[in-house]
Amino acid sequence: MIGLALALTVFNALTVVLPTFELVGASRLLAGLPHGAYFGIGALVAADVLGPGNRAKGVAFILTGLTIANVVGVPFGTFLGQLWGWRTAFLIVTVVFAVATIFIARFVPKHPGEPGRTLRSELGVFRIGQVWLTLGIGAIGFGGFFAVYSYIAPLVTETAGSPEWAVPIVLVLVGIGMTIGNLLGGHMADRDLRRTMLLGMGGLAAVLALLALFSFEIIALAVLAMFVGLVSAALSPAIQTRLMDVAGDNQSIAAAMNHSALNIGNSLGAFLGGVVIAVGWGYTAPAWVGAALAIAGLGITAIAFRAERIVLAR
């Protein structure tokens, strides 16, 4: 964890100082490399510390850092970028990661890990069908959230006709929704993981459709955007815990792959949202794309649990 946090510090620092678009793009690629492993290992440590029956709460505890970042970091970074330029935002990110590295070294308890595990044995996780289905739930279903989140700014300014200063406010509301949803999701997943995933994915599709219909008025847009954050974040600890459950002995790489799947969802949602805007369907179109992705994620979830029941019955 210390090594990964240090890598994130260095690669984000490169983004601050590199002079050309191509070099900055390369630094963003490098900064993305440690991301999945960093949060994946953190989730494993937290789940182990809290013990059986509270594993999803441990995952949610780690993911709360991400949701709080959406309450404070994303809006604050947007504000700084508007005020002093985008490099200022990455400078703050670099400082935060440097502080995090020190805090991990100082406060996170030592964890023995499994020194005998090899990369070859860990890669055995990819022979498990349920692992692929769970990764698909994150990559496709969760992409519905990013299809909208990537285009919040034009949705606020162009569709709802609000001033630019309203964008950070809506982002804060999304982050508050994510924080609440993440904590609720951890509790719900420990009680009934299957129901949490099915209802959560269906709820995400519904609230995204409502956002597409009622985003022309800023109050409705802000409230619905907050609920999009709440429902999507409630799914995160459930998906992470499900992946850890089906991965068997291959916990480390499975935990890291969950965040890789969510990052694919980030890319997929943002890309498809951009496509429908580019063809002229308007800034509400990404919300419909998001609803379609969430419905696809619900289908994959239903298939995964159905297949599991068939195997258990046999």
Output b/e per residue, 198-207; b: 16+ Cβ within 10 A: bbbbbbbbeb
Please say if the pLDDT value at position 12 is more than 80.
Answer: yes
Residue 76 is predicted with a pLDDT of: 76
- 124-313 adopts what CATH topology? Growth Hormone; Chain: A; (1.20.1250)
> Are residues 183 and 60 in contact, defined by beta-carbon separation less than 8 angstroms?
yes
Mean pLDDT of 153-176: 89
Q: Note the pLDDT tens digit of each residue in 104-144.
A: 898 887 777 667 666 777 777 788 888 899 999 989 988 88
Residue 46 is predicted with a pLDDT of: 78
Residue 113 is predicted with a pLDDT of: 66
- Going by pLDDT thresholds of 50, 70 and 90, the confidence category of residue 294 is very high
Residue 65 is predicted with a pLDDT of: 76
Residues contacting 296, CB < 8 A, separation 6+? 140, 141
Give me the numbers of helices (H) and strands (E) for the chain, helices first please: 15, 0
Please say if the pLDDT value at position 217 is more than 80.
Answer: yes
> Are residues 272 and 279 in contact, defined by beta-carbon separation less than 8 angstroms?
no
Distance, C-alpha 44 to centroid of its chain: 16
Residues contacting 150, CB < 8 A, separation 6+? 266, 269, 270, 273, 274, 286
Mean pLDDT of 69-88: 75
Q: Note the pLDDT tens digit of each residue in 166-192.
A: 888 898 898 889 888 888 888 888 888
Mean pLDDT of 50-63: 73
Please say if the pLDDT value at position 275 is more than 80.
Answer: yes
Please say if the pLDDT value at position 208 is more than 80.
Answer: yes
Residue 63 is predicted with a pLDDT of: 74
Please say if the pLDDT value at position 279 is more than 90.
Answer: yes
* Phi, psi torsion values for 191, nearest 5 degrees: -85, -45
Please say if the pLDDT value at position 161 is more than 80.
Answer: yes
Mean pLDDT of 35-56: 76
